[in-house]
Structures are given as C-alpha cells and as structure tokens.
Amino acid sequence: MDPILATFLILGAAVIAFLSGRLPLAVIAVGVSLALWASGVLPLQDALAGFGDPTVLFIAALFIVSEGLDSSGVTALLGRAIAARSRGNSRRALLLIMLIVAALTALISVNGAVAALLPMTVIIAVRSGFPPARLLLPLAFAAHAGSLLALTGSPVNVIVSEIAREETGHGFGFLEFGLVGVPLVVGTVLIVMLCGRGLVPERAASALPRDLSGHADTLFRHYSSPVSSLLPDPALETVGGEEGVAEVIVAPRSSLIGERAFPGMVSASGALIVLAIQRNGKDTGSRETILAGGDALLVRGPWAALEALTASDRVLAVDEPALWRRQILPLGPAGYTAIAVLLGMIILLVSGAVPAAVAGLLGAGAMILTRVVSMGQAYRSISWTTVILVAGMIPLSTAFLETGAAEVIGHGLILAVGAAGPHMILLAMCLVVAILGQLISNTATVLIMAPIAIAIAGEMNLSLLPFLMALAVTGAAAFLTPVATPVNMMVMGPGGYRFSDYWRLGLPLLALFLAVAVLLVPLIWPF
C-alpha cells in the first residue's frame, strides 16, 4: 500500500476511535504506533521511538514535580489564601481563583492545578452561599489560558518547543510562551468578569468534593475509646503535618477478617496504631475484638502509611486520607523543599544549562531523594494516559513528515487560501486545530497538525515559529465541550453543568485565542 494512503487511513481510523469514546486513549495511541509498523509506513524502531522520546520523559517528570508541590501543602496553602481573601464575595473569589489557577498552571500543568484547587473552590462557594457553578467553569478556562504562561504549563508547549528545536535549532524559551500567555490570561479574566454572569449558568451540583477541614473534630467527637488521648487535636496542627488519622471499614472477604485487634495495638509494620474499633456503630471499648466485615477502625500514623493502607483491598476508606491531608496540611519543611526544587528546575530551564528533559528528571529525582514524594506517589502521580498518548502519537507525526502526507495537506491548504497571504493560511490551520481540539485530545491534535505546519512553512518559505506557537495557542482553546480536556470533565459534576453549557462562555474565549494566534503571534514571531 502507498505509504501516504496508509498514513491517512491510520489517521482517519484514529480520529474515529477518539470520537467514539469506546477505547481508552492509550490503547488508541499504541494502536497507531503498531499500525504504522504493520503497514510498513515506519520500521519498528521508528514506530516505537515515541516511548523513548525526551519530550515524553519531560512530561512524565513534570507530573512528579507537580505531585511534590501538591502533597507537601503548597497548593493547599494557595487554596486557603483564596478562601481567606475572598471573604464571601463571589466576584473577589472569582478573580483570585482565576489568577491563582493561571499562575499555578504555568508551573504544574492544567490538570494538576485544577485538581489541586477544585475542592477548595467548591468549599469557598458552599461556605459563601453561592453555587459552585459560578466559579468552576472559569477555574477550568483560566487554567487553559495559564498553560501558555510558561513551558511547563502543558504537554503541548513541550511538544511544540521540541519540534522548533529540531527544525530550527532552537526551541521556545521557558517564559517565551508568556508573550502570548499574559494577554490570553488578561483577556480571559476580563471576559469572565464582565460577561461571566450571563454566560456561566448556575446549576445545582451533582457531585461535590467533601469539606474535610473539620474532619478531625468530627472523629474526635464520634469515637470514644480508652486511647482517645491518641486522637489528634481537632485542628490537627499539633501533629505537625507528619501524621494523620483515617477511618476505614473492613472490606468483605478481607484478609483482616478473623484477625484480633484492640485499641492501642500497633500494626505489623509498626507504622500505624489502632485508636478505636466500632461494630454496628458502637465502640467495642478496650477489649480484644475478632474483626469481621463491616467493622470500622480508626487508625493513626504517617500519611504515607495511611494512604498505603487505604489503597489496599483489605479496607474501604470512609474518606481518602490524601484528600483530607491536602485540605488541612500546613506548609512545613517538605513544602519549602518542594518550592526550592521547583525553583531549581526553573533556573535550569530558563538558563538552558541542560536539556529540558534533564531538568525535569533532575527535579523529579530531587523530589524523591528529599522524600517530598515517595516512589509509590511518584508512580501514581504520573498520568500514564497522557504519557502513552504522546508517545504513541509522536510516530504518526514522524510518518506525516517522512511519507510526504504533511506536504499533501499543506499544499492543499496553500492552493485553497495561500493566495490570500500567510495570515489567512494560518487562520485556516488554526480553525482545523480548534475544531479537532473540541472533539479529541488537544495533545493528539497538535501532534497531527505539527508536520502539516512544517510542510506549509517550508513550501511558502516562511518561518516555522509563528505556526508552531499558533498551534500551542489554539490547542489550548479547548472550551466548547466537556470532553475536550480532562479538566473540562473534572468540573462538570461539581458544577452540575450540561454538555451545552460550555460553548456559551467558550465561544468568546475561542474567538480571543484565535485572534491572538492569527494576529498577535506573527507580530512577535514574524513570518
């Protein structure tokens, strides 16, 4: 089969699979790589080269750095700062949330920033007496804008920077994205603040994260036992942030069934202590109990040990320790260490002293070596779907370039609108990215369109940089559907949004992003 035809067929099959939603994204991406090899488009080494690409390693490392900031209390501190300064005023809360999530996204990615601030945003709304829906869609969309403030804001930024480095000899600098990111954040904030009340529907939430800030006090009052003195202070600050408590239920068919337990006993590892046991809602007192399915245990110990316990199949957690920890954890030594590691990584990225992948891996390694993040946390923090998606789709970009498929599409676009000038062909390319980006992963969209941008720039003898930066900008403009990005879906339940709610605020923001991509980007990076 002709390699160009095979590449188009594989692309078409991948897009259909993405749109159907029937297969996991990672499976589709791996399938693309294998199909490129099976069809003879690429040799096996090239078809699987994405899994060893420095871009993929950098993206994976950023997830670990993000986990270090989150688990050490840095992001929780930001959430508490918002709550303290909003003082029940929805407009003040809205402004603070959008600015902080944009700044945080620039450092730890869209998904990490929104996941970290989502529970606190809901709590701020509920405590202040207004619907969370008023804040959550702006939270997600401001994060999209903030992803363009720095290189680390999005996998898309990393991808276009590495492509620019390969094709032109130098990539985009760490803060160079901010030349378009700052106007996008300012524009997004202005549109939401001026028009948001009419564009963001106020729905009843279908699922809200729990407010666990007073959870220690609840447990303190709910359990009475001979070792109640071992319960943490209701404020939990006396524990110093190093330990916590967890309420767990003995799972059906658990290996704990039949085991003997009593208040005050220490686990076999020596890390956890049983504070109290309840059966049918009543304390068993100090006597020894033969555990049965459905028994409730209150245990205390280091956060890592609690999270390991609740992750096992022996017990069911009433409330996840990680969620509680991140709502109340004070900023301690681990937080300052995480900030220092982040600053060190940024210095390496800004200075260009080492490749981006090396800077990211050094940052992730430092988080682990300083024990801010455990190895278990490191593995769990990586969004493997994102990593495999990027790794699997990189060979498709390679195939577009090597087979000439990108040149075919690029030549077609040039024939269609090229006579109107480079701005028009840039607009045409951005519209394709914007449409695809509402339906499939924006990362996959950019990987598909990047070789076409290279072909267009080469055939028209134009600089590649404005085309790549425009790809990054329009790739971030995934506003019109909840399936466009994980964060759009993340706020859907807590906000009570419907599928049709996204385009109301999304359309003016998409217009803003297209205007910046087509008009501002060529002024900064001329054709």
Q: Give yes or no for residue 13 having a pLDDT over 80.
A: yes
Q: pLDDT at residue 284 above 70?
A: yes
pLDDT, one tens digit per residue, over 234-243 is 444 434 456 7
What's the Cα-to-Cα distance from 364 to each of 53, 58, 370, rounded to whole Å? 17, 10, 10
**DSSP letter at 50?**
G
Compute and round to an integer the Cα radius of gyration of the chain.
25
Residues 192-202 have a mean pLDDT of 85
Binned at pLDDT 50, 70 and 90, residue 208 comes out as low
pLDDT for res 160: 93
Q: What is the pLDDT of residues 133-156, one digit of tens each?
A: 888 999 999 999 999 999 988 889
Residue 153 has a CB neighbour count (10 Å cut-off) of 30
When the pLDDT of each residue in the chain is averaged and rounded to a whole number, the result is 84
Helix (H, G, I), strand (E, B), or coil: what is residue 419? helix
What is the pLDDT at residue 148? 95
- Whole-angstrom distance, CA of residue 369 vs CA of residue 517: 41
Q: What is the pLDDT of residue 240?
A: 44
Q: Of all residues in the chain, what percent are helix, strand and coil, respectively (each to 5)?
A: 65, 5, 30
* pLDDT on residue 236: 43
**Higher per-residue pLDDT: 104 or 524:** 524
- H or E stretch covering 283: strand 282-283
pLDDT score, position 241: 57
Under a CB-based contact definition with an 8 Å cutoff, are residues 110 and 485 in contact?
yes
Q: Residue 105 in contact with residue 153, Cβ under 8 Å? A: yes
Q: What is the pLDDT of residue 217?
A: 63
pLDDT of residue 475: 92
Cα separations in angstroms, 195 against 128, 200, 374, 459: 21, 9, 44, 42
Give the C-alpha separation, 275 to 227, whole Å: 6
Other Cβ atoms less than 10 A from the Cβ of 229: the count is 7
Mean pLDDT on 254-263: 86
462: Cα within 13 Å, side-chain hemisphere = 24
Residue 199, pLDDT score:
86
pLDDT surpassing 90 at residue 474:
yes
Region 470-478 average pLDDT: 94
Q: Are 152 and 62 in contact (CB under 8 A)?
A: yes
Please tell me which residue, 489 or 187, carries the higher pLDDT value: 187
For residues 235 and 232, give the distance between their C-alpha atoms in angstroms, rounded to a whole number.
8
Name the pLDDT band for 261 (thresholds 50, 70, 90): confident
Residue-wise pLDDT for 429-457, tens only, equals 999 889 888 877 788 888 888 898 998 99
How far is 302 from 482, CA to CA, in rounded Å? 37
Q: Which of 10-24, 106-120, 151-165 has the largest mean confidence?
A: 151-165
How many degrees, rounded to 5, is the angle at CA 370 between CA 366 and CA 373? 80
213 — pLDDT class (breaks 50, 70, 90):
low
Q: Which two tokens stand for residue 371?
A: 């024990």
Give the pLDDT of residue 267. Answer: 82
pLDDT digits (tens, 9 = 90+) for 330-367: 667 888 898 899 889 888 888 878 888 898 899 999 99
Overall residue count recorded for the chain in this entry: 527
What pLDDT does 207 receive? Answer: 56
Q: Output the pLDDT for position 234.
A: 43
Q: Which pLDDT value is given to residue 238?
A: 38
Alpha-carbon span 333 to 325, nearest angstrom: 15
CB 334 within 8 A of CB 372: yes
The pLDDT of residue 525 is: 95
Q: Which two tokens stand for residue 373?
A: 């993040």
Q: What is the rounded average pLDDT of the residues 195-223?
A: 68
Alpha helices in 87-177 (DSSP H): 90-108, 110-128, 133-146, 155-168
Residue type for position 85: R
Q: Average pLDDT of 108-121?
A: 79
pLDDT band at 506 (very low <50, low <70, confident <90, very high): very high
Give residue 210's pLDDT.
60
Residue range 219-255, pLDDT digits in tens: 766 766 544 455 544 444 434 456 778 888 998 888 8
Name the one residue in this structure whose structure tokens are 């304390």. Answer: 283
Helix, strand or coil, per DSSP, at residue 271: coil
pLDDT at 8: 87
Give 12 or 237, the one with higher predicted confidence. 12
- If pLDDT is split at 50, 70 and 90, which confidence band does 211 have? low
CA torsion, points 122, 125, 130, 135, in degrees to nearest 10? -70
Residue 233: per-residue pLDDT: 47
| Contact (Cβ atoms closer than 8 angstroms) between residue 146 and residue 103 | yes
Asked if the model's pLDDT at residue 204 lies above 50, the reply is: yes
| Residue pLDDT, tens place only, 62-79 | 888 888 887 777 777 777
What is the average per-residue pLDDT within 448-468? 91
Contact yes or no for 292/250 (Cβ under 8 A) = yes
Report CA dihedral (433, 435, 440, 445) to the nearest 10 degrees: -10
pLDDT at 484: 77
d(Cα 83, Cα 127) in Å, to the nearest integer? 10
